[in-house]
């Protein structure tokens, strides 16, 4: 049975569902809210939290929907199930735009949204919600907030461009994120962990393969993001060319990835990559073609 703020979020979800279904965003959402509040037997002390969250979502709806569309480009906002898109609005509002009075830790915002999906969504809703919110927080930092929050620490990230040879053909193992891009296996380096150890750990975790050989460094880049604790960090990425066996890929079941495939070198040019990966991919292909 839901209680406390979890119940409050459910009341907000029911309210959003009604006004979204009826297209009544500009009418009187407070009337719908108070009716649902009475029906769900909400506690009076929850009302400020509920009202603030609903008002925030209504005020930021356009921004929230743009973020959802970036996170799931294959799903236009009006094609996402009405329950799922409003759970995403709740989760993103708390994740990215909540103020000091209603500040919610990132893990709590994501977990609460997943619980709403389990209770009110379809069978695949929890995985979808988890993927979108996890990827938004990991890859986009805090959209909508200004850049006055400088990075408080550096994080070293190690990335693997995995390849294998089958007969006379070279193949690249790539993973696909929910933003619609093909990318590389990568992970934050643990303290006292070597580059090789990070590569072995992440390749095994994300695509289920053992590394045969770590070959050469392909390049470096950096970007700002939020870590799991909600701190603004600068991630310094080192990319390596890594040889792996040509075996079935076993995609990690959680996080912001939704696919993993092998590609022939000739087919890679037609894929969608982040701009900072283009030189890395080209460098690797040139190296492999000269082997």
pLDDT single digits (tens) 205-217: 999 999 999 999 9
- State the burial class of residue 61 (Cβ atoms within 10 Å of its Cβ: 0-12, 13-18, 19+): middle
pLDDT given for residue 209 in this prediction: 97
246, 162 contact by CB (below 8 A): no
pLDDT given for residue 205 in this prediction: 94
pLDDT given for residue 144 in this prediction: 45
Number of H helices and E strands in the chain, helices first, is 10, 7
Burial of 246-281, coded b for 16+ CB within 10 Å and e otherwise, reads eeebebbeebbbbebbbbebeebeebebbeebeebb
pTM for this one? 0.57
86 DSSP 8-state letter: H
Q: What is the mean pLDDT of the chain?
A: 86
pLDDT given for residue 143 in this prediction: 45
- 122-130 mean pLDDT: 91
Question: Where do runs of H (alpha helix) occur along 60-124?
Answer: 61-71, 82-92, 106-120
pLDDT given for residue 103 in this prediction: 66
Give the residue, 189 or 1, on which the prediction is more confident.
189
φ, ψ for residue 93 (rounded to 5)?
Answer: -60, -45
Question: Where do runs of H (alpha helix) occur along the chain?
Answer: 4-21, 29-39, 47-59, 61-71, 82-92, 106-120, 125-140, 195-207, 265-268, 275-289
143 DSSP 8-state letter: T
- 4-22 mean pLDDT: 92
d(CA 56, CA 277): 36
Cα–chain center distance at 18 = 27
d(CA 256, CA 230): 17
159, 139 contact by CB (below 8 A): no
Q: Where in the chain is the domain with CATH 1.10.940.10?
A: 4-140
Range with the lowest mean pLDDT among 139-143, 150-154, 174-178, 205-209?
139-143
pLDDT given for residue 230 in this prediction: 57
pLDDT given for residue 81 in this prediction: 94
257 DSSP 8-state letter: E
pLDDT given for residue 102 in this prediction: 57
89, 66 contact by CB (below 8 A): no
In the three-class reduction of DSSP (H, G, I as helix; E, B as strand; rest coil), residue 272 is classed as coil
Give the residue, 11 or 276, on which the prediction is more confident.
11
- Where does 153-289 sit in CATH, by number? 3.90.79.10
Contacts 24+ apart (CB under 8 A), 24-30: 25/58, 25/61, 29/54, 29/58
Q: Where in the chain is the domain with CATH 3.90.79.10?
A: 153-289
Check whether 101 has a pLDDT greater than 70.
no
Superfamily of domain 4-140: NusB-like (1.10.940.10)
């Amino acid at each position: 049975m839901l209680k406390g703020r979890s119940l409050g979020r459910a009341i907000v979800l029911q309210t959003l569902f009604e006004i979204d279904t009826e297209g009544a965003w500009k009418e009187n959402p407070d009337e719908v809210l108070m009716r649902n509040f009475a029906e769900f037997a909400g506690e009076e002390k929850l009302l400020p939290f509920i009202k603030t969250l609903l008002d925030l979502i209504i005020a930021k709806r356009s921004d929230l929907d743009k973020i959802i569309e970036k996170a799931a480009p294959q799903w236009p906002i009006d094609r996402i199930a009405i329950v799922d898109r409003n759970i995403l609005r709740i989760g993103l509002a708390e994740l990215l735009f909540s103020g000091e009075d209603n500040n919610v830790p990132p893990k709590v915002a994501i977990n609460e949204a997943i619980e709403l999906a389990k209770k009110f969504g379809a069978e695949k809703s929890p995985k979808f919600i988890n993927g979108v919110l996890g990827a938004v927080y990991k890859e986009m930092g805090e959209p909508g907030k200004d850049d006055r929050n400088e990075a408080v620490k550096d994080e070293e990230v190690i990335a693997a461009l995995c390849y294998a040879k089958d007969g006379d053909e070279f193949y690249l193992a790539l993973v696909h994120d929910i933003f619609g891009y093909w990318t590389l296996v990568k992970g934050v380096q643990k303290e006292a962990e070597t580059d090789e150890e990070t590569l072995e750990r992440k390749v095994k975790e994300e695509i289920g393969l053992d590394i045969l050989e770590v070959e050469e460094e392909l390049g470096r880049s950096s970007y700002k993001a939020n870590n799991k604790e909600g701190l603004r960090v600068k991630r310094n990425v080192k990319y390596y060319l890594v040889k792996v066996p040509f075996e079935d890929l076993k995609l990690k079941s959680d996080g912001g990835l939704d696919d993993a495939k092998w590609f022939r070198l000739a087919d890679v040019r037609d894929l969608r990559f982040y701009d900072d990966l283009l030189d890395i991919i080209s460098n690797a292909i040139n190296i492999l073609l000269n082997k």
